[in-house]
Chains A and B, each alone.
Chain A
């Protein structure tokens, strides 16, 4: 007898409805899966066979043919285990109701009949809702991440027999739903706070400006000066996530399989810090059927590259496009996929190979040429995309002991939020959200200078030997500083502070 069960295939973030058609008939005992299945799907045979047996149902030797339609889409992964098993059980009349056709099913089976969690439950739910599906059965462990979606019944099952009983109307499963507010309440807050950073006022200020305008920044300092400590706390001062942003992040993490079981939806901005041995494919995403890379996992959050010059140069160059566009398109033989990657880029590095150039504690042993060479490892085009460069100096012990009150992340965040609101209101019609995405023509429109500021900028360029590419960056950063003070006009002091964040330009990179 023929039966049909619905399931879904994911390609990137896009979902396709798949019909699992199962025919069980008398004849030579055999088992075929057709419809462009991957090896991982073909392997399901044994899992399903034994899981059905161990769930207490008898599967006599028959001829079984399973077709995954439409047959032109490549299917891979273990999410088809459950729909295929249900299809078979329906064909041999163990499931006798007809309602299976309206329910979408996903899940992996283990040999004892239990359902194992799968990757991508959230994007599947979102896509299913778009395509008009009303009910979806999935492994219990995935319910938490999916239940944030309303307008669709999310049913979590523990094992195969539970699903069978439910479909036969023997038992009821209550649909799960949690609201965004509940998530926020129960979710873990970001555990790191800027109040733990003693001293470093200038760096904190620079980071605040960077967060307020979404500017990329580079921290330069000797070993142990606190670069990583500061970078790790940047997410704590970024504006709060909106529901849509959180959903986007969770979707990507769901596909990549990096979601934790007890965290239904990501409520903190992600902080990704890959090691410098990373390959370019794992940075931007890749694989036979492309998976999101670190830059997409850092979407709406922070991508932190520690020890920037240690990264493979080729690896770094692939960042150029995504940094500009906020999306990355990966083309492979199975098609090309697009993932969002709108992140704040934070990098850190030593000022020289030995690490102590300009340090007051230890003498630098590098020659001028070595330093120039070290700095040369970071290409101009990449530097071009970094608005703020700041030097970090180690804090003295005396200051660490000091018990003076330090600003908390919450206080800084309030200022950042305000500045962001001003920007959002200003750029309502420009389709950008922050000062960092200003294009040259928009800079002209929104970053007007009075005579005095123009004068300062001109003198600075002539005297400090700043490069032409620094011009736009200084204006953008000055705009953000003005926004932090809620000042309509960019003033001389704003420009002066912004120039301060380009100091390294002239000192290290003599361009």
Chain B
């Protein structure tokens, strides 16, 4: 763990610009990430399937495009944002609302470890022994928005934590992106409200990428230059890269195999699969639509679920999930 004080020259400059920057920040992991192009992905703890799907899409796509993703290690959207930004190495930052010795929520302790393993970064303004408390969580939201260049709000109820982060973002003059939601969903009330008030409506990751295109390119050029210099100096690096490439190839092959398998199953169960869409559908409705015996349907649903093509929701309903971002 490292401690950076406000007077330190390593203190992230972006944080100095906000209204009440923390006196000290406690950092674990890769502290270089704090100065990268950071996008915050925040949202409801009780996210709907739609929200989770969007968070997945944006987290994995934006991290691929070179952004670093920051979020609050809470359950729901935050967790998804962390998990899918970790598809790339060293692209995720978590901001805690408690000390390092009291990770909250407890079930995300594992995720916290994984972020560090993944060369990510976890920061907090609280000393390690600080317990969780109601006041601290809204406060840490100002850090989340402060460190980022833009905030993506996925799903937020009225007056929720996500809404607070959005408020901070506006005060700090950051870009606010909102994903539109159905008007009868409570979880999407605040995002829709913000869009109405003038926030940027985004429908795909590219919308965000376009805004920051230039910055990212410059950044990447810089890093490429540095890397080139390094490569010239050391041959070892090349060998390592070759090994990495081999690993990647193997992984790719495995993925291809899986995809093949998936495709075969999809064809076999196509008749049933085609009825399962973006809106949850119950097993009994499927029986009625397909007019197939129940045994066949339950078999198909199980196999499709195992393959990660559909998901079983509470209430015995099924929903199609995007193939590319199949289950964790």
Binding site for B on A (CB under 8 A): 199-202, 205, 222, 351, 357-360, 363, 367-368, 390-393, 395, 456, 459-460, 463-464, 481, 485, 492-493, 496-497, 499-500, 503, 507-508
Q: 1/0 per residue B259-291: CB within 8 Å of A?
A: 000000000000000000000101110010000
> Given A205-B294, A393-B284, A358 and B315 touching (CB < 8 A)?
yes
Check B46 for interface membership: any CB of A closer than 8 A.
yes
**Interface locus among B64-72, B139-147, B243-251, B300-308:** B300-308
* With A363-B186, A393-B282, A463-B327: A358-B313 Cβ-Cβ less than 8 Å: yes
CB of B298 closer than 8 Å to a CB of A: yes
By the criterion CB–CB under 8 Å, are B299 and A507 in contact? no
**Interchain CB contact under 8 A, A499 and B284:** no
Cβ contact within 8 Å between A496 and B282 = no
Chain B residues, CB < 8 A from A456: 303, 306
Closest-by-CB residue of B relative to A502 is: B302
In the complex the two chains form, is B295's CB within 8 Å of A359's CB? Answer: no
Residues of A within 8 A of B296 (CB): 493
**In the bound complex, do residue B298 and residue A205 qualify as a contact, i.e. CB atoms below 8 Å apart?**
yes
B183 nearest CB across to chain A (Å): 15
Q: Are B75 and A503 in contact (CB under 8 A)?
A: no
Shortest C-beta distance, B216 to chain A (Å), equals 35
Residues in A neighbouring B159, C-beta threshold 8 A: none
A371 closest partner in B (C-beta): B314
- On chain B, the residues within 8 Å of A359 by CB distance are 315
CB distance from B307 to the nearest CB of A (A): 8
| Cβ-defined contact, A500 with B315, below 8 A | no
Evaluate contact between A368 and B46: CB separation under 8 angstroms. yes
Taking a contact as CB atoms closer than 8 A, the residue among A205, A360, A493 that contacts B315 in the complex is A360
> Is B181's CB within 8 Å of the partner chain A?
no
* B282 pairs with A493, CB closer than 8 A: no
With A and B bound together, what is the CA distance between A499 and B302 in angstroms? 7
Q: Are A497 and B314 in contact (CB under 8 A)?
A: no
B102 adjacent to chain A (CB < 8 Å): no
B284 contacts which chain A residues (CB < 8 A)? 199-202, 393, 395
Q: Which of chain A's residues have a CB closer than 8 A to the CB of B313?
A: 358
B298 touches A393 (CB 8 A): no
CA distance A497 to B287 in the complex (A): 15
Interface band, chain B: 20 to 34
7 closest A-B pairs by beta carbon, nearest first, are A358-B314, A358-B315, A496-B302, A391-B316, A496-B299, A493-B299, A202-B283
**Chain A residues near B14 (CB-CB < 8 A):** none
In the complex, what residue of chain A is closest to B315 when comparing beta carbons? A358
Question: Which of B186, B302, B315 touches A393 (beta carbons < 8 Å)?
Answer: B315
Kindly identify which residue among A358, A459, A497 contacts B306, using a CB–CB cutoff of 8 Å. Answer: A459
A463 contact from B75, B280, B298, B308, Cβ within 8 A: B308
B172 partner residues in chain A, CB cutoff 8 A = none
B residues contacting A by CB (< 8 A) are 45-46, 75, 186, 280, 282-284, 287, 294-296, 298-303, 305-306, 308, 312-317, 327
Q: Kindly state the separation between the CA atoms of A496 and B265 in the bound complex, as whole angstroms.
A: 13
Cβ-defined contact, B280 with A460, below 8 A: no
Once bound together, how far apart are the Cα atoms of A497 and B75, in whole Å?
A: 31
Asked whether, in the complex, the Cβ of A493 is within 8 Å of the Cβ of B295, the reply is yes
26 contacts between A and B (CB under 8 A): A201-B283, A201-B287, A202-B294, A205-B295, A357-B315, A358-B313, A358-B315, A358-B316, A360-B280, A360-B315, A360-B317, A363-B186, A368-B45, A368-B46, A392-B316, A393-B282, A456-B306, A460-B302, A463-B306, A463-B308, A463-B327, A485-B295, A496-B303, A497-B299, A497-B302, A508-B314
CA distance A325 to B181 in the complex (A): 54
Q: Which residue of A lies closest to B261 (CB)?
A: A459
Whole-angstrom CA separation of A201 from B286 in the bound complex: 11
Please state if B316 and A202 are interface contacts (CB–CB under 8 Å). yes
Q: Please indicate the chain A residues that have their CB under 8 angstroms from the CB of B312 in the complex.
A: 503, 507
**Cβ B314 vs Cβ A464 within 8 A:** no
Which residues of A sit under 8 angstroms from B287, Cβ to Cβ? 201-202
> Once bound together, how far apart are the Cα atoms of A156 and B293, in whole Å?
56
Given A391-B316, A393-B315, 11 other A-B contacts at CB below 8 A? A199-B284, A200-B284, A205-B298, A358-B316, A390-B316, A463-B308, A464-B306, A496-B299, A497-B298, A500-B302, A508-B314
CB distance from A366 to the nearest CB of B (A): 10
State in angstroms the CA–CA spacing of A358 and B280 once bound together: 11
Distance of A199 Cα from B283 Cα, bound (Å):
11
Residue of B nearest to A492 (CB): B299
A464 to B287 alpha-carbon distance, docked (Å) = 24
What is the CB-to-nearest-CB distance from A145 to chain B, in angstroms, rounded to a whole number?
Answer: 42
CA A222 to CA B303, docked complex, whole Å: 27
CA gap between A390 and B308 in the complex, in Å: 21
| Residues of A contacting B327 in the complex (Cβ-Cβ under 8 angstroms) | 463
A199 vs B288: C-alpha distance in the bound complex, in angstroms? Answer: 10
Alpha-carbon separation in the docked complex, A393 to B315 (Å): 6
A500–B316 alpha-carbon span in the complex (Å): 10
Contacting A507 at CB < 8 Å: which of B294, B300, B302, B314?
A: B314
Q: What is the CB-to-nearest-CB distance from A326 to chain B, in angstroms, rounded to a whole number?
A: 30
B306:A201 contact, CB within 8 angstroms: no
Contact, CB under 8 Å: A500 / B186: no
Instruction: Across the interface, name the chain B residue whose C-beta is closest to A402.
Output: B288
Q: Contacts A393-B282, A393-B284, A463-B308 given: A202-B315 contact, CB under 8 Å?
A: no
How distant is the Cα of A202 from the Cα of B45 in the complex, in angstroms? 32
User: Closest Cβ of chain A: how far from B266's Cβ, in Å?
Assistant: 15
CA distance A395 to B282 in the complex (A): 11
Min CB distance, B240 to chain A, in Å? 30
Q: Using CB atoms, name the residue of chain A closest to B185.
A: A363
A232 and B303 CA atoms in complex are apart in Å by: 32
How near does chain A come to B70, taking the closest CB pair, in angstroms?
23
A205 to chain B, nearest CB (A): 5
A42 CA / B158 CA spacing, docked (Å):
75
Taken together as a complex, chains A and B put the C-alpha atoms of A56 and B296 apart, in Å, by 77
**Cα(A456)–Cα(B308), bound, Å:** 13
For residue A205, which residues in chain B have a CB less than 8 angstroms away from its CB? 294-295, 298
**Complex Cα distance A359/B313, Å?**
10
